[in-house]
Structure 1
Amino acid sequence: MRRFAEDHAAAAGEWDRAGALPDEVVRAVAARGWLGAAVPDTHGGRRLDPVSFGELCAGLGGVCSSLRGLLTVQSMVADVIARRGEDHHRAWLPDLAAGRVIAALAATEDGAGSDLAAVGTRVEPVPGGLRISGRKRWVTFGETAGLYLVLGVTPRGPTAVLVPRDAGGITVEPVRGQLGLRAAMIAHVTFDGVVVPAAHRLGAAGAGLTHVVAAALDHGRYSVAWGCVGMARACLDLSARHAVARSGRLAQHQLVRRLVTDMVAGVTTARLLCEHAAGHPRPDRTMLAKYVAARTAAQVTRDAVQVLGAAGCAPGHPAERFFRDAKLMQLIEGTDEICQTHVCDAEFRRHATRGAA
């Protein structure tokens, strides 16, 4: 990972400006087996233990948040297929592990962001399978995905369906110039009466949100949390090196020392919470790690720009890019407010149970 980071860190700014990850970078990540980090060995992957997977996300996050986003979405879909799918679904896993197919989660809509139970995309039984009709927004790597995990609704409730890009009736609208994750090839995707075999439904009808997409999002939050640790660590390193390089004078400034001390405390705390979540795989622990890590990344990147001054504001500087990306970390895979709600609810339930006992 260190060699990969050294070889590609300088190019990440160009990816951000171009609004895309180069094909050769995606191939390089796939060749190292990282796109199969959530795929069982029996299906062509190299499934990592939780801490090793987290360290990989942190390493990529310290290079480029969009690159870490590729690992996140690929692993979200692959992990939920491996854990919730049947054998005919798992047939996708070797291609996902090898990077021959890029996956994307298509859940968000105009009227369904944090509240995914409000999705309006229709999944209707028809002769020959299921027909999917609706428009999804802000699909990470939706521009290049060959397989979409689509959340829709049937009369029985939310339902998840695997939809191949070549199914026909799919329109992709690339998104450019958003605040952050500019190289994540985000797109709005319209499914216009797309018909797939009924066997492409993942999980039971009505359980698409609670048992499929919720599991994918929990995996995604874990990945994002570690990615935030990597991003914050990179900005801490940039700040400390800059302060020391300025003839030592900047490093002696008491206010600069306070900022750097707070960065160290934040990065250390966020990492410990991610390690805790690795050992306690519960949604509320993952939520807490993501909440703290995202807030830490936002604060550390902001303070890094402050320490770096004009250099940190320059177009293409890593601190400037990470500063923009960090804000999105407080929104994706559960906003700060959603995380607060879940963490607080879990704590209240714990005390209510004790009180009843």
Structure 2
Amino acid sequence: MIRLRGNQGLKGALAERLSHFVNAHVRFDADNWDRNRIYPISIIRQLGTEGLLCPFLPEQFGGEGAGMLQVGEVFEELGKWCSSTRSLLTVHGMVATVIHRFGTVQQKSTWLPSLSNGSLTAAFALSEKGAGSDIKAIETIAVDHGDYVVLNGSKSWVTFGQWADIFLVFVKIGGELAAMLIDRCTPGLKVKPAIEMLGLRASGTTEIEFNACMVSKANLLGKVGTGISLIAMTALDFGRYSIAWGCVGMGQSCLQESLDYAENRVQFGMPIQSNQLVKKMISEMVVESKAARALCEKVAESREDKLPDAIVQTWEAKYLASKMSRKASGYAVQIHGAAGCVGGSLVERHFRDAKIMELIEGTNEMHEILIADQALARRRTNG
């Protein structure tokens, strides 16, 4: 039984704004953004105006003080129609989350209101060509020069890097890992052209280079040595939570599109919904999307209660939901046949986007290792 208490699902003003925004600005434009690999800055600004960029932040920083279930359902709704928009809120929220948790008073007052209202957009820069799951292998170096550091290196797979105003960048200072907030306009910082991706084509994923970038130590987030153990892990935990809910939305969308198509597509004199194999695919989509949502709801409760195993539950939810969305999108394309393989088809876009979900914020294989290790550890502890 899910006990929501003060963490009730979307309702009232926030739900109304979300529904209006999605229908007016996302649902019917997402395919064009995907096809042209663009994302309008005006939409980002409007997301902020509507209070949808950082609803989890306290009101003093421009947020809604929304509970974890409400936050999850925002990602769920956006996942139904545009995973690129959902990915913007994910990386933007990852940065805002760690600034709120680890930032100084000055950093919070400087950055959070602007991140909340959309006047600034943030991106998360951790991965490098030689450092993906192996975070400690990063080679971007910041050399200490007293009141500032000088950065050299590069970052890969920076979601929304094409349009971000600030980057949360992970570097090594004196051999220890640290996190820094770096303005896009910093001399020596170069944003490369967007990478052509299988999915999330409107997400502006890119590479950035640092060539002798001078950055004030006032932009250091937290302490040197806590960049991975606290800051990166906290950000990635938020990212997994948002992706899990976005995948739930994708699964629901694939199911609805399949139901509509199966009812109206006639072959051999009858709708294909009467075909037993089509029914099999639909039944699996129904049950597995419900299971993924139920696990996400449970995680929302655990996160709201700040339970110690909430992090592991988030890994589990992201793992299950990403597998579900990939399977559901595959079934949806199969049910649609050729109509599901052409550009402009929502299920075709979900099919491409869903594969990315199994890779980002920790591959499914890394999830399997961690989930199994946790189960084995509990077994040893409990006997």
- Tell me if TM exceeds 0.5: yes
- AA in 2 matched with 1:159: A
C-alpha contact (below 8 Å) 2:57/2:65 kept by paired residues: yes
Report the identity percentage: 39
C-alpha contact (below 8 Å) 2:124/2:159 kept by paired residues: yes
Secondary structure class of the residue paired with 1:137: strand
| Residue 2 (structure 1) aligned with residue 19 (structure 2) | yes
* Partner in structure 2 of residue 246 of structure 1: 265
Distance (Å, rounded) in 2 between the aligned partners of 1:204 and 1:112? 22
1:287 to 282, 307, 315: 315
| TM superposition shift of 1:77 | 0.3
Gap change, CA 1:47 and 1:18, over 3 Å in 2:
farther
2:297 to 255, 263, 275: 275
| Residue 334 (structure 1) aligned with residue 356 (structure 2) | no
- AA in 1 matched with 2:98: V
| TM superposition shift of 1:27 | 2.5
Distance (Å, rounded) in 2 between the aligned partners of 1:292 and 1:155? 39
Secondary structure class of the residue paired with 1:349: helix
| TM superposition shift of 1:156 | 4.7
Measured against aligned partners, the alpha-carbon deviations of 1:281-315 in whole angstroms (never above 9, x if no partner) come to 32211000000000000000000000011111011
1:75 to 81, 93, 98: 93
| Residue 11 (structure 1) aligned with residue 20 (structure 2) | no
| Residue 257 (structure 1) aligned with residue 279 (structure 2) | yes
| TM superposition shift of 1:219 | 0.3
| TM superposition shift of 1:317 | 0.9
Distance (Å, rounded) in 1 between the aligned partners of 2:89 and 2:244? 13
* Partner in structure 1 of residue 249 of structure 2: 230
C-alpha contact (below 8 Å) 2:84/2:203 kept by paired residues: yes
Distance (Å, rounded) in 2 between the aligned partners of 1:228 and 1:58? 7
Distance (Å, rounded) in 2 between the aligned partners of 1:169 and 1:46? 37
Unaligned runs of at least 5 residues, structure 1: none
| TM superposition shift of 1:85 | 1.1
Q: 1:62-211, aligned counterparts within 5 Å?
A: 62-90=80-108, 91-211=110-230
| TM superposition shift of 1:353 | 1.5
RMSD between aligned alpha carbons?
1.2
TM-score (norm. length: structure 1): 0.97
Measured against aligned partners, the alpha-carbon deviations of 1:263-287 in whole angstroms (never above 9, x if no partner) come to 0011101101111111223221100
1:221 to 230, 234, 240: 240
| Residue 314 (structure 1) aligned with residue 342 (structure 2) | yes
Distance (Å, rounded) in 1 between the aligned partners of 2:285 and 2:120? 38
C-alpha contact (below 8 Å) 1:45/1:97 kept by paired residues: yes
* Partner in structure 2 of residue 61 of structure 1: 79
C-alpha contact (below 8 Å) 2:250/2:325 kept by paired residues: yes
Secondary structure class of the residue paired with 2:288: helix
Q: Number of matched residues? A: 355
Measured against aligned partners, the alpha-carbon deviations of 1:221-250 in whole angstroms (never above 9, x if no partner) come to 000000001011111100000011125621
Distance (Å, rounded) in 2 between the aligned partners of 1:168 and 1:33? 32
Unaligned runs of at least 5 residues, structure 2: 1-17, 304-309
* Partner in structure 1 of residue 14 of structure 2: none
